[in-house]
Structure 1
Amino acid sequence: MVVDTKTGITDEYWEKRYTIIPQNVPTFLKMHENVILRTGKYLNVIRQSGQEVRSPEEQKPIFSTTDASYSEVIERTYNFASKQLFELFMDEKNLMGRLRSVKRFFLLDEGDFILQLISKCEEELKKNIDDVRPKCLQMLFKFALEDSSANNDIYKDDIICTLQPTTLMGQVPGLNHDGRR
């Protein structure tokens, strides 16, 4: 599970908050139900980021079980929401800059950070998990960051150090705790 430390929202939040209840979907909308759901999710993300959503859609569809004009409105609204969300991620949230930051920290773009981290955390990480102090690890993480070239990363303050309540083997889907499938 991934948790946004600023909002407390988990990745499961977006999967479970809005769902389709098949018996409540009119038959003439069945083939569009997933597009309508995604459109609503996209618009909700935009609203929750503090932006006002104003649809350019002026024409209101006239719904009928025989006329398919609503299909065009659904598609245009989806395209609008998708474009707005994309622009939010790319422009306001600087997705490319954040991905470069992830590359720097986790894909070892600049190897001096990981060397500093391993060197500073070695003794703490040798301990039994019950004896490891998360605050100590966070402090060592910060020191490693300050002593490496990654200290210049503009998103460095968004990276935190946490301990997961599961083993490495428990994080791999389909494996038993003994490492067998």
Structure 2
Amino acid sequence: MVKMLGLKSLRPLLFDILWVYEGVTDDPYGEFFIAENKSLQKESLSQDYDAKYWRQRYSLKDDIPSFLSDAAETILTTGKYLNVMRECGHNIQVPMSENSKLMSFGSNHHYLECIKAAYEFASGELLNLIKEKYDLMGKLRSIKHYLLLDQGDFLVHFMDIAQDELAKKPDEISVEKLQSLLDLALRTTAAAADPCPEDLTCCVERTTLLKRLSTLKDLETGETVSDGNDLEEPVSITGLETFALSYKVCSSSWHAYFLFYLILSLSFLVPIFYIGDPKLR
């Protein structure tokens, strides 16, 4: 009886080992304290900027074992990092030496140190993967130049040469012509030094910028986005109100797009995104 109770109490740790060291769940009876929502697919990230994949594909249940409650968030995040790399074809496993096995803890709560070590390894591997293989800093540098207008002379030139086209109504504008003019502006200004100018594209939205911002605000606050015009559109809008720039994060690799999207949610990367970082210049 005592042996059976002991094995039952260790069951959460058996799930932990697979999740924390490999980013895999094997829980057919729903006993693990991390829930998996299989209806959410990573492919949705390329179509919906507000996709819930990262936050809701894997989440904590309410019934977390008391001795793991303080480490539950770390356990969840560690497995997510490993799972992200696995989904992108990089099967990374946390090294499990004799001194770092979760099952070897004693009264000193050694398992907390094991979980912390696994978290640091997984987060470091994911960061290195995105920085080295998928050129995170280069992409951020380009975004700074183009979308934050660190080198905004290309936009001034573009607005001058595209003035006539942008003065038209949205349904009369030729997006192909705008893209051609944008490419010309990129080639003849300081932006020409960027290694990936072809990743910057333009489009004409169906609504104005203010309407789009209002919609984004509703999504962020969880309010229902209605079709009604809470924010009245101008009677007549032109390309000046609906023109938008778009930056393709990764034109050649879907995996890189997936990783770059998810990296925006990783708290340990926040310092990198500081716009004053000299590495982004």
Query: 1:55 pairs with 94, 101, 109, which one?
Result: 94
Instruction: Return the offset for 1:9.
Output: 6.8
Which secondary structure does the structure 2 equivalent of 1:109 belong to?
A: coil
Q: 1:44 to 1:132 in 2, by over 3 A?
A: farther
2: distance between equivalents of 1:40 and 1:137? 44
Give unmatched runs, 5+ long, in structure 2.
1-42, 219-229, 233-281
Q: 1:54 to 1:115 in 2, by over 3 A?
A: same
2: distance between equivalents of 1:177 and 1:62? 58
Report % sequence identity: 35
Larger radius of gyration: 2
AA of the residue aligned to 1:118 = M
2: distance between equivalents of 1:91 and 1:127? 44
2: distance between equivalents of 1:138 and 1:44? 38
Instruction: Return the offset for 1:61.
Output: 1.2
1:168 lines up with 2:209 in the alignment: yes
2: distance between equivalents of 1:135 and 1:48? 35
1:104 lines up with 2:116 in the alignment: no
Larger proportion of strand: 2
Give unmatched runs, 5+ long, in structure 1.
none
Q: Which residue of 2 aligns with 1:86?
A: 127
Which secondary structure does the structure 2 equivalent of 1:162 belong to?
A: strand
Q: Which residue of 1 aligns with 2:39?
A: none
Instruction: Return the offset for 1:14.
Output: 1.9
1: distance between equivalents of 2:159 and 2:47? 29
Aligned positions of 1:13-162 closer than 5 A = 13-23=53-63, 25-58=64-97, 59-62=100-103, 68-162=109-203
Which secondary structure does the structure 2 equivalent of 1:161 belong to?
A: strand
Kindly tell me the number of residue pairs found equivalent between the two proteins: 173
AA of the residue aligned to 1:38 = T
- Is the 8 Å Cα contact of residues 42 and 81 (structure 1) preserved in structure 2? yes
Q: Larger RCO: Structure 1 or Structure 2 (Cα < 8 Å, ≥ 6 residues apart)?
A: 2
1: distance between equivalents of 2:92 and 2:119? 13
1: distance between equivalents of 2:58 and 2:167? 43
Instruction: Return the offset for 1:88.
Output: 1.7
The C-alpha deviation readout for 1:107-153, integer Å capped at 9, x for no partner, is 33333211222123322322223333433333332222222221221
- Is the 8 Å Cα contact of residues 55 and 77 (structure 1) preserved in structure 2? yes
Instruction: Return the offset for 1:165.
Output: 5.0
1: distance between equivalents of 2:174 and 2:90? 39
AA of the residue aligned to 1:131 = E
TM-score in terms of structure 2 length: 0.52
Which secondary structure does the structure 1 equivalent of 2:73 belong to?
A: helix
- Is the 8 Å Cα contact of residues 62 and 69 (structure 1) preserved in structure 2? no
The two structures, once aligned, show a CA RMSD in angstroms of 3.2
Q: 1:121 to 1:49 in 2, by over 3 A?
A: farther
Q: 1:50 to 1:159 in 2, by over 3 A?
A: farther
Q: Which residue of 1 aligns with 2:269?
A: none
The C-alpha deviation readout for 1:136-173, integer Å capped at 9, x for no partner, is 33333222222222122112232222344543223153
